[in-house]
Homo-oligomer: A and B are copies of this chain.
């Protein structure tokens, strides 16, 4: 990898013939645009199921860690626990998961997917794989692996 970027067309972007010297070199801004692209793509794939990427993340964590308390889920996903309450209300209304009051610590709710939730998640998982394959098309399999490694220190 070159140390400099002189070989790149820096200072102008696809957005017309605007000058964007600073922003086009901003890592954070590139991350934001890439993330927005990714979420828009995933959101479109999930749309028939009326599920957001954030809801998918919640369903997935609960599926992989049955009985988890709300505060743990919020922590793991960096969602405010106040926000998670509303998300879980939605998911519980749709009978995708249930809150079960814990007998060992009566402050907490153990979260479990319902059969319906597991069934939906299996379908969402396929769509997520399609999304990942789409990224692979764009930057290659090695690129995708490299990207995950590069992003790791920023998690």
State the oligomeric state as a number of copies. 2
Do A36 and B138 form a contact, CB below 8 Å, given A61-B18, A61-B23, A65-B19?
A: no
Do residues A39 and B32 form an inter-chain contact, with CB atoms below 8 A? yes
Do residues B38 and A135 form an inter-chain contact, with CB atoms below 8 A? no
Do residues A150 and B148 form an inter-chain contact, with CB atoms below 8 A? no
**How many residues on A have C-beta within 8 angstroms of the other chain's C-beta atoms?**
63
Among B20, B41, B150, contact of A76 (Cβ-Cβ < 8 Å): B20
Closest Cβ neighbor of A121 among chain B residues: B22
A92 within 8 A of B: no
A1 within 8 A of B: yes
Cβ of A53 to closest chain B Cβ, rounded Å: 7
A93 within 8 A of B: no
In the complex, which residues of chain B have a beta carbon less than 8 angstroms from the beta carbon of A32? 35, 38-39, 53
Residues of A within 8 A of B (CB): 1-3, 5, 13-16, 18-23, 25-39, 41-42, 53, 57, 60-61, 64-65, 68, 72, 75-76, 78, 125, 128, 131-132, 135, 138-139, 141-148, 150-155
